[in-house]
Amino acid sequence: MSRPTKQIHLAAHFPGVNNTTVWSDPAAGSQIEFSSFAHLARAAERAKFDFFFLAEGLRLREQNGRIHDLDVVGRPDTFTVLAALAAVTERLGLAGTINSTFNEPYEVARQFASLDHLSAGRAAWNVVTSWDAFTGENFRRGGYLAEQDRYERARRFLHTAWELFDSWRGDEIVADKDTGQFLGEPRPGAFAHHDSFFDISGQFNVPRSPQGRPVIFQAGDSDAGREFAASSADAIFSRHSTFEDGQAFYADIKGRLAKFGRRPDQLVVLPAATFVLGDTDAEARERAEVIRHQQVSGATAILFAEQLWNRDLSAYDPDGPVPEVDPLPGENTISKGRASVRMFDDRLATARRWRELGEAKKLSLREVVIEVTGRQSFIGSAATVAETINRFVQEDASDGFILVPHIVPGGLDEFADQVVPLLQERGVFRAEYTGTTLREHLGLELPG
């Protein structure tokens, strides 16, 4: 028996503070002005996307003792941006990445419950643990948690936040103007939570929000991160965007749900993906090459190589060969504030591979970096890209994608205008929103 056709989920990631965002293109705009956020959100809503997504970075990254200048493009506060977007959109979900290492459950629960109210049920929380003490130096407790403890704190943090959300059932406010009775019970929002991380009690002061609890995302990729997602998240944001890798990740994560008493459809798998469109596949490939060269300038190639070599390579010529010198082993000390997921497992072997590739294909260091780092996920005409995305979803490499345009604010426009109508024609993507909340867009049940 053939199974029903899956509906694709799509989201718009405001491109982040990193080198893949091309700021030097004449069409590139501000990364921090509200008009840029609003433009991308409106394009996503016009295309009936499920949600808009913001990552979080809490410290300017440094490399080799200097501020990584490509990162200095601005990263305003998540809640402020999403609350402002709630006012200029009506149906689009609003997902924010907020870490559980440096915050407190009471404040985060208040912020998400408030966003869920202001947006009439469109809030989502991507619970990340963050990874480095360097970022932690910004905060009162510093980077005090060992890696394995961060997920334990995350689990307890999320459960505490759920207790706060659930401290209101939703029927406490009577607001009877005739009798003058406002509350139906004397002490709503009562909570008391005591464990080794949190020791809090009181009255939560935001009444139950439209979704009850915001949609929960998880993004960590380790075994502990995947277990956390399988036990507690409604959706997982991953980096596994190629077909085979995506299928393997999908099978792994969906296979973990049963032991937590959950069904496969209770966790939506959404890898990050990039795209380049053209009138023909050949033209898209040409554009993709141009974009890769914009993304990896000579200076960027050296910075990338330094992250692998873990040493100062500023004296090297990016248009010359891959450096002969070996990487420094051990913990990466040259680059601070970048996700550990970007770090390289075996530096010596990877550097050897880069050298061999350079020699075999007669490529400069810059060209090798262009070749080995972050290629675009979907390259082709609108028809090709629509067909490929649909195949990935129908064949369980994902349930959809969080699309990361390479340029703001207009990077999603072509996709919205050209690819989405083709997906709608195929009947695999909504032509109109059928629900009002993000839970409804994602096909998730309301929490009990």
Would you say 138 or 205 has its CB closer to ligand FMN?
138
Is residue 55 a contact residue for ligand FMN (CB under 6 A)? yes
Is residue 238 a contact residue for ligand FMN (CB under 6 A)? yes
Is residue 341 a contact residue for ligand FMN (CB under 6 A)? yes
Rounded Cα distance, 321 and 315, in Å? 13
- The amino acid at residue 373 is T
Is residue 340 a contact residue for ligand FMN (CB under 6 A)? yes
Is residue 50 a contact residue for ligand FMN (CB under 6 A)? no
Rounded Cα distance, 200 and 160, in Å? 9
Is residue 97 a contact residue for ligand FMN (CB under 6 A)? yes
Is residue 272 a contact residue for ligand FMN (CB under 6 A)? yes
User: Which burial class, exposed, middle or buried, applies to 271 when counting CB atoms under 10 A from its CB (0-12, 13-18, 19+)?
Assistant: buried
Would you say 14 or 429 has its CB closer to ligand FMN?
14
Is residue 70 a contact residue for ligand FMN (CB under 6 A)? no
Q: Kindly report the length of the chain.
A: 448
Is residue 130 a contact residue for ligand FMN (CB under 6 A)? yes
Minimum CB separation from ligand FMN for residue 21, in Å?
14
Minimum CB separation from ligand FMN for residue 301, in Å?
23
Q: Are 357 and 153 in contact (CB under 8 A)?
A: no
Would you say 221 or 367 has its CB closer to ligand FMN?
221
Among the candidate windows 109-117, 217-225, 329-337, 366-374, which touches ligand FMN by CB under 6 A? 217-225
**Residues 6 or more apart whose Cβ sits within 8 Å of residue 183:** 172, 173, 174
Would you say 238 or 437 has its CB closer to ligand FMN?
238
**Residue 416: phi, psi to the nearest 5?**
-60, -40
Is residue 337 a contact residue for ligand FMN (CB under 6 A)? no
Is residue 106 a contact residue for ligand FMN (CB under 6 A)? no
Rounded Cα distance, 98 and 127, in Å? 6
Is residue 250 a contact residue for ligand FMN (CB under 6 A)? no
Q: For residues 154-183, which are near ligand FMN according to CB under 6 A?
A: none
Is residue 131 a contact residue for ligand FMN (CB under 6 A)? yes
Is residue 78 a contact residue for ligand FMN (CB under 6 A)? no
Among the candidate windows 113-121, 170-178, 231-239, 376-384, which touches ligand FMN by CB under 6 A? 231-239
Among 99, 274, 300, 437, binds ligand FMN (CB under 6 A): 99
Is residue 219 a contact residue for ligand FMN (CB under 6 A)? yes
Minimum CB separation from ligand FMN for residue 115, in Å?
17
Is residue 138 a contact residue for ligand FMN (CB under 6 A)? no
Rounded Cα distance, 381 and 7, in Å? 21
Is residue 129 a contact residue for ligand FMN (CB under 6 A)? yes
Minimum CB separation from ligand FMN for residue 201, in Å?
29
Is residue 222 a contact residue for ligand FMN (CB under 6 A)? yes
Among 45, 71, 116, 221, binds ligand FMN (CB under 6 A): 221
Is residue 220 a contact residue for ligand FMN (CB under 6 A)? yes
Among the candidate windows 2-10, 39-47, 173-181, 335-343, which touches ligand FMN by CB under 6 A? 335-343
Among the candidate windows 156-164, 232-240, 287-295, 300-308, which touches ligand FMN by CB under 6 A? 232-240
Q: How many residues bind ligand FMN (CB under 6 A)?
A: 21
Among 273, 339, 386, 403, binds ligand FMN (CB under 6 A): 339
Would you say 114 or 222 has its CB closer to ligand FMN?
222
Given the rule CB under 6 A, which residues bind ligand FMN? Answer: 55-56, 97, 99, 128-131, 219-222, 224-225, 237-239, 272, 339-341
